[in-house]
């Protein structure tokens, strides 16, 4: 790792839902003390940063993304002292911890909203109120399955209020300077408590202006710049990851000049194209989106992922692509939600280890910092009988014992999975015992990724490929280079590859899976003639022989 302040370029993140991870006090809900008990597991995965889903008090109608007090911890999760203990435990193990910062909206239970709907002094303008629900008509609805408008009527105030998500999540009014300064105060509170940064939820929607789609407005960028400067003043180099689910050209401005807005942003549109490429057996969708991804300031970084706690979002695809994705991955209506697919990684791959490995091989070699979602490392399934996104948020499966080693309670916040991915069949203890498990494989993958400087912070190129099924990536840095080849087809592929950028160098096949006969790990070949012989969904990574 380097010490240039962008340590997160070499990092791997782990997204962890506290309610689901480990229940230390036996009430059926995961808690912060439970996470503390499992910090060694997380460290041993090889990840560097934990992203904790919202922790604050909330009526939990959107799993904590509906905050009712920004300065506390939900009683199910414990106390601020428990969080301090977790931060100490994590830091002692070299792990950083970021939390969700939900700035755009609060719960309608929040005292601010209760005061605002009663026009109480000082709070009357804290939310976006209107007599006219036809304002901002150019703004899309995000939760299309549950909301038909971004306006809801409030009988107490006798006006409509604006909300981009559920109707119980009114948007704060960022035109009000007190709202802006209060949110900076919230940021200060958590940084002073010791968190290492934030995942900034839903930031494109902070302001509204007539005649626009109310996304990515100049006023939003101005506030985010203020926030970045404020954070730098308290915790220089804090980890700030913006959730901007937009096309690359609209996302780019959130990096600012490289130092004055977001250092890290999710690359949303690349994600569905990895899945589409897999379904089509062709690297074309990956090439398409990477060619449309502009260069970003060298000090900044994309963050890439395969799955997360939400539906697999299909907002950044065309209608035809969405129809194709639904046909391949969500044939039953119960699998769909809003504009997306509410399934976990392993079931999306039909529990096929080869496809799971291939997607991770792509994830770890794409430009950017990768995020893993809890449970995917052991191939957990989902529960489609649960509503909304709850089916991908079920208890972590530690053992095949009672409560899956998650909880000693009779009843847990959500049922344990049943069927083929029940704890009896899929659990951490079994994965630990089996040297060939996905868990062991993933630990190796992470260790290898982290040992290759070119992957985190190198220059990325998607090379031309003699076979459209093969995605060929080249990452180079001053001291390192990695060529990775990914076979998206369900049949073997054999080609000889030339990498002119590394001409004259011998490359060693350092890592791979589903290698065909005749090519084996450790073999060395010139960069002008790399023998690629991959089985269905196979992958191979080479790096210069001289730095083994
Ligand atoms: C979060 C969702 C949440 C929404 C509203 C999203 O971006 O990822 O889980 O429902 O914001 O806060």
Q: According to the model, what pLDDT value does residue 182 have?
A: 98
Q: Tell me how many degrees the CA angle 385-389-393 measures, rounded to the nearest 5.
A: 85
Is 128 close to ligand 1, i.e. is its CB under 6 Å away? no
Query: pLDDT tens-digit profile of 514-527?
Result: 999 888 999 999 99
Is 283 close to ligand 1, i.e. is its CB under 6 Å away? no
Query: pLDDT tens-digit profile of 109-129?
Result: 999 999 999 999 999 999 999
Query: pLDDT tens-digit profile of 321-333?
Result: 999 999 999 999 9
- The Å distance, Cα 201 to ligand 1 centre, comes to 7
Q: Which atom of ligand 1 is nearest to the CA of 165?
A: 5
Is 65 close to ligand 1, i.e. is its CB under 6 Å away? yes
Is 165 close to ligand 1, i.e. is its CB under 6 Å away? yes
Parallel, antiparallel, or unpaired for β 470-477 and 480-487? antiparallel
Please give the order of strands across the beta sheet that includes 151-154: 129-130, 159-162, 151-154
* Contact (CB, 8 A) for 224 and 243: no
Q: According to the model, what pLDDT value does residue 185 have?
A: 98
Is 171 close to ligand 1, i.e. is its CB under 6 Å away? no
- The Å distance, Cα 202 to ligand 1 centre, comes to 7
Stretch 53-61: mean pLDDT, rounded? 98
Q: According to the model, what pLDDT value does residue 518 have?
A: 81
Stretch 140-151: mean pLDDT, rounded? 97
Termini Cα distance of the chain: 18
Stretch 287-296: mean pLDDT, rounded? 97
DSSP state of 511: E
Pocket test of ligand 1: the residue of 52, 59, 64, 65 to mutate, having most ligand atoms within 8 Å of its CB, is 65
Is 15 close to ligand 1, i.e. is its CB under 6 Å away? no
Query: pLDDT tens-digit profile of 453-463?
Result: 999 999 999 99
Q: According to the model, what pLDDT value does residue 517 have?
A: 84
Parallel, antiparallel, or unpaired for β 151-154 and 159-162? antiparallel
Is 311 close to ligand 1, i.e. is its CB under 6 Å away? no
- The Å distance, Cα 310 to ligand 1 centre, comes to 7
Q: Which atom of ligand 1 is nearest to the CA of 65?
A: 12
Q: According to the model, what pLDDT value does residue 542 have?
A: 98
Q: Which atom of ligand 1 is nearest to the CA of 102?
A: 12
Phi first, then psi, for residue 139 (nearest 5°) are: -100, 130
- The Å distance, Cα 308 to ligand 1 centre, comes to 11
Q: According to the model, what pLDDT value does residue 547 have?
A: 61
Q: Which residue is closest in CA terms to ligand 1's atom 8? A: 310
Q: Which atom of ligand 1 is nearest to the CA of 309?
A: 9
Q: According to the model, what pLDDT value does residue 548 have?
A: 47
Q: Which atom of ligand 1 is nearest to the CA of 389?
A: 9
Is 215 close to ligand 1, i.e. is its CB under 6 Å away? no
Residue 1 has pLDDT above 70, yes or no: no
Q: What's the mean per-residue pLDDT of the chain?
A: 97
Mention every residue, 6+ apart, whose C-beta is less than 8 A from residue 468: 282, 283, 284
What pTM does this model have?
0.97
Catalytic residues: 201, 243
Among candidate residues 272, 275, 284, the one with its CA nearest the CA of residue 468: 284
Query: pLDDT tens-digit profile of 364-395?
Result: 999 999 999 999 999 999 999 999 999 999 99
């Amino acid at each position: 790792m380097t010490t240039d302040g962008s340590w997160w370029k070499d990092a791997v993140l782990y997204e962890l839902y506290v309610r689901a991870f480990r229940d230390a006090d036996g009430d059926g809900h995961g808690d912060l003390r439970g996470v503390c008990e499992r910090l060694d597991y997380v460290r041993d995965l090889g990840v560097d940063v934990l992203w904790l889903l919202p922790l604050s008090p909330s009526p939990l109608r959107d799993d904590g993304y509906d905050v009712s007090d920004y300065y506390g911890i939900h009683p199910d999760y414990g106390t601020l002292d428990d969080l301090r203990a977790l931060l100490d435990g994590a830091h002692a193990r070299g792990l950083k911890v970021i939390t969700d910062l939900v700035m755009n909206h609060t719960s309608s239970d929040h005292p601010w909203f209760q005061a605002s709907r009663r026009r109480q002094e000082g709070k009357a303008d804290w939310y976006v109120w209107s007599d006219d629900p036809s304002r901002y008509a150019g703004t899309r609805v995000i939760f299309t399955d549950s909301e038909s408008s971004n306006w809801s009527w409030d009988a107490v105030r006798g006006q409509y209020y604006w909300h981009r998500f559920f109707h119980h999540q009114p948007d704060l009014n960022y035109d009000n300077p007190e709202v802006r300064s209060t949110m900076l105060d919230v940021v200060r509170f958590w940084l002073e408590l010791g968190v290492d940064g934030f995942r900034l939820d839903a930031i494109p929607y902070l302001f509204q202006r007539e005649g626009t789609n109310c996304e990515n407005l100049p006023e939003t960028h101005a506030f985010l710049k203020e926030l970045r400067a404020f954070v730098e003043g308290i915790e220089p180099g804090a980890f700030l990851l913006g959730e901007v689910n937009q096309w690359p050209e609209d996302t780019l401005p959130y990096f600012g000049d490289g130092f004055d807005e977001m250092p890290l942003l999710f690359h949303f549109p690349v994600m569905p194209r990895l899945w589409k490429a897999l379904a089509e057996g062709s690297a074309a969708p990956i090439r398409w989106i990477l060619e449309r991804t502009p260069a970003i300031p060298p000090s900044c970084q994309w963050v890439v992922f395969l799955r997360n706690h939400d539906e697999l979002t299909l907002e950044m695809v065309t209608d035809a692509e969405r129809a194709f994705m639904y046909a391949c991955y969500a044939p039953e209506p119960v699998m769909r939600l809003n504009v997306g697919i509410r399934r976990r990684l392993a079931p999306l791959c039909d529990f096929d280890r080869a496809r799971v490995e291939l997607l991770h091989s792509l994830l770890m070699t794409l430009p950017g910092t990768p995020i893993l979602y809890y449970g995917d490392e052991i191939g957990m399934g989902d529960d489609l009988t649960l509503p909304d996104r709850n089916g991908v948020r079920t208890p972590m499966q530690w053992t095949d014992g009672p409560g899956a080693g998650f909880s000693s309670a009779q009843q847990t916040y959500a049922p344990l999975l049943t069927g083929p991915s029940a704890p009896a069949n899929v659990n951490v203890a079994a994965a630990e015992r089996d040297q060939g498990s996905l868990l062991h494989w993933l630990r190796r993958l992470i260790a290898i990724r982290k040992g290759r400087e070119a992957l985190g912070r190198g220059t990325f190129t998607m090379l031309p490929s003699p076979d459209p099924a093969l995605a060929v990536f080249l990452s180079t840095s001053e001291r390192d280079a990695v060529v990775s080849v990914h076979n998206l087809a369900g049949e073997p592929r054999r080609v000889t590859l030339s990498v002119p950028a590394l001409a004259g160098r011998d490359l060693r096949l350092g890592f791979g899976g589903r290698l065909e006969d005749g090519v084996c790990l450790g073999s060395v070949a010139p960069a002008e003639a790399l023998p690629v012989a991959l089985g269905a969904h196979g992958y191979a990574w080479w790096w210069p022989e001289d730095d083994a």
